[in-house]
Chain A
Amino acid sequence: MIGLVDANNFYVSCERVFQPKLEGRPVGVMSNNDGCIIARSAELKALDIPMGTPAFKLEGMRQRGEIHLLSSNYELYGDMSTRLAQLLRDACPAVAPYSIDEMFVYLEGLTTEQCEALGRELRQRIRRHLGLPVCVGLAPTHTLAKLANHLAKQHPHYQGVCLLNGQDHTTEALLKRIPVASVWGVGRRLAERLAIGNVNTAWDLRQSDDKPLRKRFSVVLARTALELRGTPCMEMNALDQPRQRIMTSRSFGQPTGVFAEVHNALRRHAQRSAEKLRKQRSLARAVMVFLNTNRHRRDQLQYFPQALIPLPSPSDDTRVILDAVRQGLEQIHRPRYQFMKAGVMLLDLVDAEQHQLSLLHPPTRDRHPFLMATVDQINQRMGQGTISFGMTDAPAAWQLRCAHRSDRFTTRWDELMKVGTHPGAVAAAEAKQKEKEKEKLKKQQALTSTKRGTQPRA
């Protein structure tokens, strides 16, 4: 049996663990840069605020206190996700994290009843010990487990745990009610094409013949149909398997056309990418640099260039990659555009230990494995960007906006949750703190004004 443990509104739930006042309130979490809504509490969904709503449209509601909008706090979410995975690892024989808030658990050798009981116990334990609400879907295959989880979330009568054994009448009845577009791996486009062939529900897909599916669509879809029948035929690639490409990109806090600013952002992304590259012990053979203007601003000139710079020999040296990034940017940068986003992608990765040395192009620069390892170690221990390559870290336009980020309760000693020993203690302490800051400000203002007053005399 395969189980899918999926946290409900994960980002919002993480925030609520440490901010009980958000319980029962409409809460949204905004994307990097406070751009748009990327996570919503059930209460916010009930207000008909769709995913991806630009944050500025909700600013009024936020200021009136009708809704809470938070900047994304990835340190917190990442830590809670690690804890969730660890808790599952302690309880199940095998666990495979699928995303930050979804984990597959593999329960071999347990009866159906035991699986369901374990699912309920896990759900309770995660709620109690971590404070996170989750739903559990159980089934013989990944695809069915995903559907079971979907059902557990949609219908309260499952109480968060739904088991589809794949063969009985309940499975049939449920699959007949699920539109094919809700099946894992079937997108909207594919669903439209399937509808032409009269495949509308998950059950229809399950009953489709294997050969025409392979012929008219793809092997992947044929496999999905097989999985719906209860035959496992999809393996999850482990997340820690080396990735084939590594990308780091961010939107700018404010659009910019200045070469130096764009370059600075790209340098930061390149260093981050190189770090990821070394972590998975790969070498890159090419570097891609890309820039985007704001496609929603029809009044501005649009430009989405990219440049691909092959490296003379596979490398994980930050300096080599930075060099390539500068070349790439010089190729594509044009001064009259306002760029919204910039990114660096490392391509054609090879294993650092197994790559073939080139006869014609021996490693150009002396590789300094110790230098890079030391840099990575220091940055890991002292925080990202403690050591960086030849750039000033002045607050620039491209740095992230995160005006409403909550404290990083689990990863920073100076941002712990404050707990009062009596009702109102925390509020009183915060009021005191504010008053102190105000007084400080006043004193400073008084100081500067007296200084100014003395200036003319001097």
Chain B
Amino acid sequence: MPGQSSHFTPALPLTSQPQPCGRAGFSGFPSPAQDYEPCTLDLNTRLVKNPTETFYVSATGDSMEGWGIFEGDLLVVDRSIEPQLGHILVAMLEGEALIKRYALYRGTPHLCSTHPNYPPLPLEGSDCQLWGVVRAVVHEYLR
């Protein structure tokens, strides 16, 4: 029949569900996992270690892409962490908040980015203030 070709064919074969008949009571099987405390993973416990001191900020600019921080990414900033070399920081420099990597450059601590246009900023002699340490970056593919 010519009309048949237009019929919708499901990608997966659909099996018919058993129809309930009669009124007999039935009970399910007890879950074998019921003795194990259910504790679904919570991303908060992984990314936020100190909720009181944790703030969220959003990144702007392209010069930290080498460290995986892209425009519009969400940063989880923990202000209670002591910064160490290699940490990614949010720092206040001349009234502006910046995301930089705290690292040695020619033997002295600098704030570094991964973009050739932005050379490392020496910490010595600058009025740079630490704001917080970036604990994690959240890059959302679907928004």
Contacts and interface: CB of A to CB of B under 8 A. Distances in A.
Interface of A: 20-21, 23, 83, 86-87, 90, 128-131, 409-410, 413, 416-426, 428-429
30 contacts: A20-B95, A20-B97, A21-B96, A23-B95, A86-B52, A87-B52, A87-B53, A129-B52, A129-B80, A130-B79, A410-B55, A416-B58, A417-B97, A419-B97, A419-B99, A420-B59, A420-B61, A420-B97, A421-B64, A421-B98, A421-B113, A422-B61, A422-B63, A422-B98, A423-B94, A423-B96, A423-B118, A424-B96, A425-B60, A426-B61
A90 B97 CA distance: 28
Interface in B87-143: 90, 92-100, 113, 115, 117-118, 131
A307 to B, nearest CB: 45
B115 A422 contact: yes
B103 to A, nearest CB: 15
B31 to A, nearest CB: 29
Contacts, number: 94
Contacts of A83: 52-53
Interface residues of B, number: 33
A410 B52 CA distance: 11
B92 to A, nearest CB: 5
**Which 7 pairs, one residue from A and one from B, show the smallest C-beta to C-beta distance?**
A425-B61, A421-B61, A421-B64, A21-B95, A421-B63, A422-B63, A129-B53
B93 A422 contact: no
Nearest to A22: B95
Given A21-B95, A417-B97, A420-B98, A131 B79 contact: yes
Contacts of B100: 421
Contact of A416 (B63, B74, B131): B74
Contacts of B131: 131
Contacts of A420: 59-61, 96-99
Given A20-B96, A421-B98, A130 B53 contact: yes
Contacts of A21: 95-96
A413 B58 CA distance: 9
Nearest to A425: B61
B79 A129 contact: yes
A419 B53 contact: no
Nearest to B98: A420
Given A420-B98, A422-B115, A429-B61, 11 more contacts: A20-B92, A20-B97, A83-B52, A83-B53, A418-B60, A420-B59, A421-B115, A422-B98, A423-B98, A425-B60, A425-B63
Given A20-B92, A20-B97, A419 B59 contact: yes
B74 A419 contact: no
Given A416-B74, A419-B58, A421-B59, A426 B96 contact: yes
Most buried by A among B97, B99, B118: B97
Contacts of B92: 20, 23
Contact of B79 (A86, A128, A428): A128
Interface in B9-62: 51-53, 55-62
Contacts of A418: 57-60, 97
